[in-house]
Amino acid sequence: MVPLQSFRAIIELWPTRDAMAADVGAKPASVSKWWQRDSIPADWWSSVTSSSLARRSGVTADVLTRIAAREAA
């Protein structure tokens, strides 16, 4: 399993950014911006963690919170 050390690593679980966007209900351009910024807005965390791919990969609210806290430090 890929270590989930960054928001980019989470985004890269999907084969493409378009695939992630379709899976979580976001616009592809938004997911591209998330990847560029290495950030997933907290408003989208529920949609991301609800994805079956994310659940299988161990993406949880706790993981997202840990990454966000590390980025803020």
Q: Does residue 31 form part of some domain?
A: yes
pLDDT tens track for 47-60: 999 999 999 999 99
Q: Does residue 47 form part of some domain?
A: yes
pLDDT tens track for 10-69: 999 999 999 999 999 999 999 999 999 999 999 999 999 999 999 999 999 999 999 999
The number of distinct structural domains making up the chain is: 1
Q: Which residues contact 53 (CB under 8 A, 6 or more apart)?
A: 13, 14, 23
Q: What is the CATH number of the domain that holds 57?
A: 1.10.260
Q: Which domain holds residue 24?
A: 7-72
Q: Does residue 50 form part of some domain?
A: yes
Q: Does residue 41 form part of some domain?
A: yes
Q: Does residue 33 form part of some domain?
A: yes
Q: Is the dihedral of CA 69, 22, 59, 5 positive or negative?
A: negative
